[in-house]
Amino acid sequence: MSILGTRVIRTEDPRLLTAGGVYVDDLKEPDLNGALRATFVRSTVAHARITGIDTSEALAQPGVVAVLTAADMTDVPSPPPADFDPDAPPVEEPMPLGGPWSEPLLATDRVRYVGEPVAIVLTDSAYQGEDAAELVSVDYDILPAVPSIEAALAGESLLFPEAGTNVCQKRGADLDDSVFDSLDVVVEGDVVNQRVAAVPMEPRGAAAVWKDGRLTVWSSTQNAQTARLILTALGLKPDAIRVVAPDVGGGFGAKIGIDRDAIVVAWAAKHTGRPVRWAESRNENLLGMTQGRAQLHHIKIGGTRDGKIKAYRLEVIQDTGAYARMSGFLPSLTVLMAPGVYDIPNVQAGYKAVVTNGTPIAAYRGAGRPEAAATIERAVDWWAAEAGLDPAEVRKINFIKPEQFPYLTKTGAPYDTGDYEGALDKVLAAAGYERLRAEQKKRRESGDTRQLGLGLSSYVEITAADGVMGETAKLEVHRDGTATVYTGSSAHGQGHHTAFAMLVQEELGIPMDKVEVVHGDTDLIPKGTGTHASRSLQLGGSAVHKAAIEVKDEAAKRAASLFEASEADVVLDAATGTWHIAGDPDKSLSWAQVAEAASGGTLTANVTFTADRPTFPFGTHLSIAEVDTETGKVTLVRHVTADDAGPVLNPILMEGQRHGGIAQGAAQALVEEVLYDADGNPLTSTLADYGVITAAELPSFELITSETPTDVNPLGVKGIGEAGTIGATPAVQNAVIDAVSHLGVRHIDMPTTPERVWSAIQSATNTK
């Protein structure tokens, strides 16, 4: 029987459950003995010129070994000057902007957000570091802050005066208003996709050692290999750098690569010749770790009374924070995915990216796609409410139909496969949509203070958008019959070790408990792309699958010569992991015997799997919320989803990804938001102020299976890491608004706090 598709509990867990993981700050590497503790001095102001830094008092403190600033970084080569052409077309790679927009490692003459690293203090103990960092005195000449998109566009204060503008990237939408002219129902408005914090439970951390001309960096990262590439900025060749990802306590996109703080830690180890450790506090994490979303959308949507949407316009303004670390990549994905699951004849979408005095924005669970889904799903509901139509019905009328795949969207996305109506129907049936609508009607008629809202979201998203970069796998079968997988993919909770061992067992019949999976060490795995963009199974898994097939081919040759038979006659019994001659089950060879016959006693395959196209998972979420009309308080009652990412390798892992995704999506809709005051001071820099969603605010989730394979990879799979988040956010937001739409409310921005819901009800009923 195939192991694929079965509920296999994780091999990772026993260690994590009895001894705990080994995260960066838990490392007991001998090389880290006596490591110094790094503490950063961070900017306390949003925007200022630095006129002086005095480290003398800090240096005089007990236990302080060094206090280093940008002025000490003379051993770091300056980055090659980018030729800056203000009229050049926007860069849409996830690459930092160069030229006048460059981000330094430690602040030089200017700071641009509260939390920006200014100096690094190295001490014998952590407590000494905290004390000493407070004694570093930085003189700031305060500049007017740019705390918002509006202020950035006003351009009265510039973050990068040399650039002459705060708009760092743009791609125009073709604004033809005439297409809306003849349409029966047209809705236009602003939709905010607020700034949120990733908050992995393990904050950022790194440790570094400089020894014998080589730099070793342990980093809490989603991709050691990418981190190594970035670290070459210290003037080292890749060979002179080893990056190790130990256990990583969550990433969600914010741990892609390596941040400037960790690069400075690595530099400090090299500069001083002493091992250095750094573990940031939660407060630093909420100031310094990249955040997500932060887009302002202006929409226009129009259609005919019979429910057909004819035109959709999306204008995006991306707040990149102080430094455009991913340039225009995030809003370009938003534009790409703008029309979502709908066959809309006219789509106009474009973006502007602006710098502000906030924490830099980068990938966060979905990275540009959740914003697209949130707004089209909001727009469709808004339009349906205005047209007096049922939102489920409007979706069905406008869906791209199964027979239209492959389907190229107006924005250029090559959708592979999909059955959008199928997923919606499953959810409506499972949730009892008709019954719920009847209950809602009853409560509306009786003027119940607890109103019921049904929020739909039918989404499609792009996963493994960087499939052409591929993923690596090396598979070895050893002479003792065990196997080792070296993957360029990088686990931080997803269950790669279980999943990849399942793939080997399936193909080779070597039982999972004899398959070791190794990731995240550039000495063992020099090439890899890591885990982001929901790419691990479809690229990393497909690579493991490909390596297994290559090993099998090689093994067949060895087995044939051992049997003194022709290669065509030997077969592998994958159920038992033994080799036979076809038709003669009595004679058999084990994997150990076949490997023994290979050169060096190991069968090896070293492969890269690339996909020529991305994949497009999809699904429908239905969220059911109760809103107390007297207080505006929202209670999420149920959340029903069908998330289709192709055939499921291990339902346990897939459900886990969906659960976590739904919670993060609901969190954005209900509670989470990073806030700044008018001077750019963060108001949400502790967990007491930034309300991470808790168990008490969520129901259990109802998951429905839907499996539509793709033809893009041999496993037929798409990504599932981000789908839950993408689907959940608009479903929850729509549910809240639906609960009060009969009162005349058409839109409430996220997070739908009691205050906002209450005010929306007040202003709707007052204008009635």
Partner 1 sequence: MKVELTVNGKQITADVEDRMLLAGFLRDVADLTATNIGCETTSCGACTVLLDGESVKSCTVLAAQADGRSVTTLEGLAGPDGEMHPVQKAFHEEHGLQCGYCTPGMVMAIASLLKENPSPTEADIRAGLEGNLCRCTGYHNIVRAALAAASEGAK
Enumerate binding residues for ligand FES (CB under 6 A). 201, 250, 493
Phi, psi of 534 (to 5 degrees): 50, 45
Candidate ranges 65-73, 529-537, 640-648, 657-665; the one touching partner 1 (CB under 8 A): 657-665
Candidate segments 60-68, 71-79, 654-662, 734-742, binder of partner 1 by CB under 8 A: 654-662
CA-based R_g, the chain, Å: 27
Task: Give me the amino acid identity at 53.
Answer: I
Give which of partner 1, ligand FES, none residue 495 binds (C-beta under 5 to 8 Å, depending on kind). Answer: partner 1
User: Which CB sits closer to partner 1, 566 or 694?
Assistant: 694
Q: Which is nearer to ligand FES, 250 or 651 (CB)?
A: 250
- Closest distance to partner 1 from the beta carbon of 653 (Å): 7
Residue closest to 629 by CA, chosen among 741, 505, 461, 722: 741
Which DSSP symbol is given to 230?
A: H
Looking at the Cβ atoms of 279 and 648, the one nearer to ligand FES is 279
Listed ranges 10-18, 85-93, 182-190, 209-217: which one lies at the site for partner 1 (CB under 8 A): 10-18
Among 700, 766, 767, 768, binds partner 1 (CB under 8 A): 700
Burial of 446: CB neighbours in 10 Å, binned 0-12, 13-18, 19+: exposed
| CA distance readout (Å), 86 to 96, 350, 697 | 15, 18, 47
CB of 492 to ligand FES, least distance (A): 8
Residue 96 interacting partner from ligand FES, partner 1, none (CB closer than 5 to 8 Å by kind): none
How far is residue 35's CA from residue 30's CA, in Å, rounded to a whole number?
A: 10
User: What DSSP line would sit under 541-597, residue for residue?
Assistant: IHHHHHHHHHHHHHHHHHHHHHHTS-GGGEEEETTTTEEEETTEEEEEEEHHHHHHT
CB contact set of 374 (below 8 Å; sequence gap of 6+): 191, 193, 729, 730, 733, 750
Q: CB 18 → partner 1: shortest distance, Å? A: 6
Which part of the chain contacts partner 1 (CB under 8 A), choosing from 149-157, 279-287, 307-315, 501-509?
279-287
Planar angle of CA 755, 293, 323, nearest 5 degrees? 125
Beta-carbon contacts of residue 680 (< 8 Å; ≥ 6 apart)? 45, 46, 47, 113, 114, 145, 146, 147, 356, 357, 358
For residues 114-133, which are near partner 1 according to CB under 8 A? Answer: 127
| CB nearer to ligand FES: pick between 246 and 358 | 246
Q: In this complex, which beta carbon is closest to partner 1, that of residue 591 or of residue 701?
A: 701
The pair of structure tokens assigned to 116 is 């920006």
Q: Are strands 450-460 and 602-609 parallel, antiparallel or unpaired?
A: unpaired
1 makes contact, choosing from partner 1, ligand FES, none, with CB < 5 to 8 Å by partner type, with: none
Q: Which is nearer to partner 1, 349 or 703 (CB)?
A: 703
Dihedral (Cα; 108, 112, 115, 117), 10-degree rounding: -20
The C-alpha angle 172, 176, 178, rounded to 5 degrees, equals 170
- DSSP, collapsed to helix, strand or coil, labels residue 723 as helix
Nearer to partner 1, 650 or 713 (CB): 650
Residue 656: partners with Cβ closer than 8 Å, 6 or more residues away: 495
Q: Smallest distance, Å, CB 20 to ligand FES?
A: 12
Site for partner 1 in 194-213 (CB under 8 A): 199-203
Vertex 599, ends 594 and 600: CA angle to 5°? 100
Nearest Cα to 224, choosing from 435, 469, 580, 490? 490
Q: Pick from 26, 75, 177, 184: which binds partner 1 (CB under 8 A)?
A: 26
The partner in contact with residue 688, picked from ligand FES, partner 1, none with C-beta cut-offs of 5 to 8 angstroms by kind, is partner 1
**Minimum CB distance to partner 1 smaller for 470 or for 660:** 660
Which of the choices ligand FES, partner 1, none does residue 23 contact, using the CB cut-off of 5 to 8 A by kind? Answer: partner 1
Query: Please, what is the minimum distance in Å from the beta carbon of residue 27 to partner 1?
Result: 9
Told to check if 22 binds partner 1 by CB under 8 A, we report: yes
Which residues in 303-322 contact partner 1 (CB under 8 A)? none
Residue 493 makes contact with partner 1 by CB under 8 A: yes
Least gap, CB of 688 to ligand FES (angstroms) = 11
* Helix (H) or strand (E) segment spanning residue 17: helix 13-18
* Structure tokens, 572: 């592998």
- Cα pseudo-dihedral 587, 591, 592, 598, rounded to 10: 100
Q: Which does 653 bind (CB under 5 to 8 A by kind): partner 1, ligand FES, none?
A: partner 1
Nearer to ligand FES, 292 or 493 (CB): 493
Q: Which is nearer to partner 1, 555 or 649 (by Cβ)?
A: 649
DSSP string of 374-385, one letter each residue: HHHHHHHHHHHH
Please give the backbone phi and psi of residue 397, each rounded to the nearest 5 degrees, phi first.
Answer: -60, -35
Q: Which is nearer to partner 1, 116 or 284 (CB)?
A: 284
Contact flag: residue 20 with partner 1 (CB under 8 A) = yes
Each residue 659-698 as x (binds partner 1 by CB under 8 A) or -, in order, gives: xxxxxx---------------------xxx---x-xxx-x
Q: Determine which residue in the list 653, 670, 732, 735 makes contact with partner 1, applying CB under 8 A.
A: 653
Give yes or no for a contact between 203 and 179, defined as CB atoms under 8 angstroms apart.
no
Q: Which stretch binds partner 1 (CB under 8 A): 12-20, 69-77, 436-444, 565-573?
A: 12-20
Q: With CB cut-offs between 5 and 8 Å by kind, which of ligand FES, partner 1, none does residue 14 bind?
A: partner 1
**Site residue total, partner 1 (CB under 8 A):** 55
Q: Is 282 in the site for partner 1 (CB under 8 A)?
A: yes
Q: Which does 695 bind (CB under 5 to 8 A by kind): partner 1, ligand FES, none?
A: partner 1
- In the complex, minimum distance from the CB of residue 108 to partner 1, in angstroms, rounded to a whole number: 31
Q: Binding residue for partner 1 (CB under 8 A) from 92, 116, 247, 466? A: 247
Residue in the shown chain whose Cβ atom is closest to ligand FES: 201
d(CA 303, CA 291): 36
Nearer Cβ to partner 1 (104/730): 730
Nearer Cβ to ligand FES (250/432)? 250
Residue 384 amino acid letter:
A
Q: In what order do the strands lie in the sheet with 214-219?
A: 64-69, 117-123, 36-42, 276-279, 205-211, 214-219, 241-244
Tokens 């690229």 found at: 539
In 3D, which of 646, 670, 652, 649 has the Cα closest to residue 723?
A: 646
Q: How far is the CB of 21 from ligand FES (least distance, A)?
A: 10
According to CB under 8 A, which one of 43, 169, 216, 494 is a site residue for partner 1? 494
- The nearest distance, CB 21 to partner 1, in angstroms, is 4
Number of neighbours of residue 355 by Cβ within 10 angstroms? 28
Give the residues lining the site for partner 1 (CB under 8 A): 9-10, 12-14, 16-23, 25-26, 127, 199-203, 247-250, 252, 279, 281-283, 492-495, 652-653, 655-656, 659-664, 686-688, 692, 694-696, 698, 700-701, 724
